[in-house]
Amino acid sequence: MKDLRTTFLEHVKKGLNGKVLPLKVLFWDGHEYLFDKNFLVTMHLKSAKIITQLLTGSALDVLGEGYVEGDIGIEGRYQDILAVAEGLSDAFPAKKPKTGILHKALHSKAKDKEAIHYHYDVSNDFYKLWLDRNMVYSCGYFKTGKEDIDIAQEQKLDHICRKLHLQPGEKLLDIGCGWGGLLTWAAKHYDIQGVGVTLSEEQFAFAKERIEREGLTDRVEIRLQDYRDIPERDHFDKVTSVGMFEHVGRAKLPEYFEVINRVLKEGGWVMNHGITASQQDDEGGHHSGSDFMDKYVFPDGEIPHLWRVVRDMAGQNLEVIDVENLRPHYAQTLIHWVDRLEAHKDEAVAMVGEKRYRIWAIYMAGCAYAFWRNWSALHQVLAIKQTGEELTPRPWERRYQYEENQYRLAEPDWGDL
């Protein structure tokens, strides 16, 4: 009977199919194996149970959990570690659920609040270590790719405001407002009246204090509130949702967009910014790495494909007028975050512990790799509430998003007809 070390090596060699894996493996019993003498990654399997788990589960899930729980030691650059992990996932492909029935989160208000609390209420000071100066926890916007994270996030905030064509005095609702970065920027630079809602108590406290500190209490209100409980009707000129709808759930998207329809004025604009599945058959969420994310990072998170987003918006009279894929922007943002977290490792571990530090480091590095590899995408979808037959106001072209004074209202010119 083969021992587990031999079984592991045979699986990996067969799965690689002649490809080079720059990996050195140290086994629990002192043995070691070099897949390539010019190895870039050293992996220490501290227990034989890891191999058993690889044989029966998903490689990315097993490796991620093993690293977080301390059963696997890993040395090397994140980009090399993740490339090696992808190679190992080819040797140990994810197993489909035996029942064929995928878990679907109920997304009740209580469940959603619990999930948000787990991820976002870690510690404001922890997030301060590696987020930008505006505390923006979503994809930045790069014009050259060389910007630091502070500039990239300010460019993103401004890009959203320009894309929405915000005007002084307009009422802006930000669903999932985080630490208040977008509303603060919009109030200071575009002179809007804003309302932000969040389920995170830590974010709520920080954003309220921030609004007071910056003298914006007469223009911005922050609420600890579920999006389903927003009471306004036909009230807001513009609505933003940035990095929030991943928590909504695919089955709840029609209800989510119905709420947006309800709170928007006729002709109002909404900009939905969120992670999307790169392939339609990825929507089920049960792919290599998804179990790790569900357990350790985003409980009950669900990623829809773009087709579903556009369909469900259209079902609520939200006419899509602009779609932008920011996939490379999110990859670069995550690289900045991981680099900054690594630079503050000792402080982070002191705040949240070694385990949570490892979770955040490997999840963000893994997501950066996933965006570069087109395993995930990020779309900004701009839509207008259009319930009547008349053309709601919109620009002829997109130049207004990038150049001053380029907004040209689209109106039919019938001439002599």
pLDDT in tens, the chain (417 residues): 468 888 888 888 888 877 889 999 999 999 999 999 999 999 999 988 998 888 887 888 888 889 988 999 999 999 999 999 988 888 887 665 444 334 455 677 776 666 566 566 678 999 999 999 999 999 999 999 999 999 999 999 999 999 999 999 999 999 999 999 999 999 999 999 999 999 999 999 999 999 999 999 999 999 999 999 999 999 999 999 999 988 898 999 999 999 999 999 999 999 999 999 988 766 654 445 667 777 777 777 788 999 999 999 999 999 999 999 999 999 999 999 999 999 999 999 999 999 899 989 998 999 999 999 998 999 999 999 999 888 899 999 999 999 999 999 998 888 887
The maximal CA–CA distance of the chain, rounded, in angstroms, is: 90
Beta strand 41-45 pairing with 72-75: antiparallel
At residue 2, the pLDDT reads 62
**What tokens were used for 215?**
């003298």
* pTM, to two decimals: 0.90
Q: Is the dihedral of CA 51, 9, 41, 367 positive or negative?
A: negative
Distance from C-alpha of 181 to C-alpha of 32, rounded to nearest angstrom: 49
At residue 96, the pLDDT reads 54
CATH, domain range 109-401? 3.40.50.150
Distance from C-alpha of 277 to C-alpha of 115, rounded to nearest angstrom: 20
Domain boundary assignment for the chain? 4-91, 109-401
**Are 244 and 174 within 8 A, CB to CB?**
no
CA angle 32/33/39 to nearest 5° reads: 115
**Are 376 and 276 within 8 A, CB to CB?**
yes
Q: How far is CA 248 from the centre of its chain?
A: 13
> Which parts of 30-93 fold into alpha helices (H)?
49-56, 59-69, 78-91
Phi, then psi, of 244 in degrees rounded to 5:
-115, -35
At residue 14, the pLDDT reads 85
CATH, domain range 4-91? 3.30.1050.10
Positions annotated as catalytic residues are 367
What CA–CA distances, in Å, run from 380 to 76, 156, 306, 384?
Answer: 34, 11, 10, 13
Indicate the DSSP class of residue 294.
Answer: I
Which residues, in sequence order, are CB contacts of 251 under 8 Å at separation 6+? 104, 107
At residue 101, the pLDDT reads 36
At residue 116, the pLDDT reads 62
Residue 235: half-sphere exposure toward Cβ, Cα within 13 Å: 13
At residue 103, the pLDDT reads 45
Which residues, in sequence order, are CB contacts of 110 under 8 Å at separation 6+? none
**What tokens were used for 294?**
């569900």
**Are 107 and 248 within 8 A, CB to CB?**
yes
Phi, then psi, of 264 in degrees rounded to 5:
-80, 145
Beta strand 318-325 pairing with 264-277: unpaired
DSSP 360-416: HHHHHHHHHHHHHTTSEEEEEEEEEE--SSSPPP-BSSSGGGTSTT---B-----TT
Structure-token match 């900045």, residue found: 336
Helix (H, G, I), strand (E, B) or coil at 256: helix
